[in-house]
């Protein structure tokens, strides 16, 4: 049985490393230009080379996003950019524009091409067309059901791979082809600069009274009629496996290291459990519980089980649910002293109840009884961003382990 790929987002080099160490088979990244997440930190050429080396040395893959819809002014630099990245050893380029595909086939013919979800592929005829143009994998539109995906699989050659998003933010517009951001802010969503106006609160204005705004009452909290819930298919692993997909994709290049690591490891556990015993597979609620411990909106299964309906939208708020704080990353561990060197990411202090997670187990809890600065001086609190501190550990830990703190578990 060919094992399905778990594909994770990586907004920068650090996130790439965490994604791979926590269970991703491949990651997708963006350069400083020509990807659809301009607000992410993204990758310099130097970081690309380091990321590829890190991934390949562990048997993992790296895909580069080139999926903007370019205008004439983009083309000259796009061509030189492709010539540079085409020599780096990427496992695939993700693109949506036919002209970009043509140039990639010309100057980097050995690099696989994956068709972005931005191309709105919703049927097997279109998928076959792109495959005949040299596309190895089609990333299907988010608006497809499991039944439709299975039909595409049955009507396309096995040499064409199929990929679909299974987790993360959803776009109100068809597969992300949005013009609202351009209209409202002048920021082009199709060139990586979306301002996310679908998450804003709206009021009604009558044409002859432009200074008088009237609420559109969805709930007492406001009106968010463009605002989608986040996608989560952790409960649908058997159905995803049976659909014929080759790759399951997580959204979130602008999310935190903690988000990437924890979501990836939950899906990794679920996928591995399925392969260990497909007939006896049992969904574990703790996988979903772990996913809910990262910043998220309420969840939906999107279009997988049929058309999205009113239950797929959020009407009360566009805010994220944040029940846990990501407070630190283990840099090293001294097994003799049982002390970890921690790089702080959010404020925490002596007396706090914390949880430590790693790639191979979900978590253990402990209380921070003592804390020292990098020079060994006792301190009560770690308030400075990326401050190096030493914390005694109840159990052994390792580099890249993550510390988190439940918001309700704060002393005082």
Instruction: State the Cα–Cα distance between residues 137 and 187, nearest whole angstrom.
Output: 29
Residue 7: φ, ψ to 5°: -110, 125
Kind of pairing, strands 388-392 and 381-382?
unpaired
Residue 38: φ, ψ to 5°: -65, -25
Which contacts qualify for 180-184: CB closer than 8 Å, 24 or more apart?
180/226
CATH numbers and ranges of domains, the chain: 5-173+227-312 (3.20.20.70), 324-406 (2.40.30.10)
Instruction: Please report, in tens digits, the pLDDT of each residue of the chain (412 residues total).
Output: 679 999 999 999 999 999 999 999 999 999 887 755 555 567 999 999 999 999 999 999 999 999 888 889 888 888 889 999 999 999 999 999 999 999 999 999 999 999 999 898 999 999 999 999 999 999 999 989 999 999 999 999 999 999 999 999 876 655 555 556 664 566 665 555 666 666 566 666 766 777 776 555 544 544 555 667 889 999 999 999 999 999 999 998 888 999 999 999 999 999 999 999 999 999 999 999 999 999 888 888 988 998 766 566 555 555 667 889 999 999 999 999 999 999 999 999 999 999 999 998 778 999 999 999 999 999 999 988 899 999 999 999 999 999 999 986 444 4
Angle between helices 257-276 and 13-21 (to 10 degrees): 20
CB 265 within 8 A of CB 205: no
Look up the pTM and report it. Answer: 0.85
Burial of residue 173 (CB within 10 Å: 0-12, 13-18, 19+) is: middle
Tokens at residue 283, please?
């969904």
Instruction: State the Cα–Cα distance between residues 234 and 216, nearest whole angstrom.
Output: 34
Kind of pairing, strands 381-382 and 324-334?
unpaired
Instruction: State the Cα–Cα distance between residues 41 and 43, nearest whole angstrom.
Output: 7
């Amino acid at each position: 049985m060919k094992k399905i790929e778990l594909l994770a987002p990586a907004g920068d080099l650090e996130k790439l490393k965490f994604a791979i160490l926590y269970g991703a088979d491949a990651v997708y990244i963006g350069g400083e230009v020509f990807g659809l997440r301009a607000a992410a930190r993204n990758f310099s050429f130097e970081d690309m080379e380091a990321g590829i080396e890190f991934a390949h040395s562990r048997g993992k893959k790296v895909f580069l996003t080139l999926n903007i819809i370019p205008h004439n002014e983009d083309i000259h630099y796009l061509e030189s950019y492709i010539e540079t990245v085409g020599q780096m050893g990427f496992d695939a380029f993700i693109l949506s524009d036919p002209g970009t595909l043509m140039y990639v086939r010309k100057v980097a013919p050995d690099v696989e091409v994956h068709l972005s979800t931005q191309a709105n592929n919703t049927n097997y005829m279109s998928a076959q067309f792109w495959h005949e143009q040299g596309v190895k994998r089609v990333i299907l539109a988010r608006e497809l059901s499991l039944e439709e995906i299975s039909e595409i699989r049955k009507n396309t050659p096995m040499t064409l791979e199929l990929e679909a998003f299974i987790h993360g933010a959803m776009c109100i517009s068809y597969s992300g082809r949005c013009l609202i951001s351009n209209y409202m802010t002048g920021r082009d969503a199709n060139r990586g600069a979306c301002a996310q106006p679908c998450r804003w609160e709206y009021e009604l204005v009558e044409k002859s009274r432009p200074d008088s705004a009237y609420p559109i009452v969805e709930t007492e909290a406001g009106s968010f009629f463009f605002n989608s819930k986040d996608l989560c298919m952790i409960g649908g692993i058997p159905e995803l496996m049976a659909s014929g997909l080759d790759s399951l994709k997580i959204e979130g290049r602008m999310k935190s290291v903690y988000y990437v690591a924890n979501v990836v490891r939950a899906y990794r556990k679920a996928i591995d459990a399925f392969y260990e015993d497909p007939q006896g597979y049992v969904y574990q609620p703790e996988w979903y519980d772990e996913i809910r411990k990262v910043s998220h909106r309420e969840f939906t299964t999107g279009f997988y089980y049929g058309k999205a309906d009113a239950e797929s939208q959020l009407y009360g708020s566009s805010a994220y649910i944040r029940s846990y704080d990501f407070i630190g990353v283990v840099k090293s561990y001294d097994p003799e002293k049982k002390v970890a060197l921690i790089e702080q990411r959010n404020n925490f202090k002596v007396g706090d109840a914390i949880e430590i997670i790693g790639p191979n187990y979900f978590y253990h809890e402990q209380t921070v009884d003592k804390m020292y600065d990098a020079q060994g001086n006792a301190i009560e609190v770690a308030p400075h961003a990326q401050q190096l501190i030493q914390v005694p550990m109840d159990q052994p830990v390792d580099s890249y382990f993550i510390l988190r703190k439940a918001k309700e578990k704060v002393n005082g």
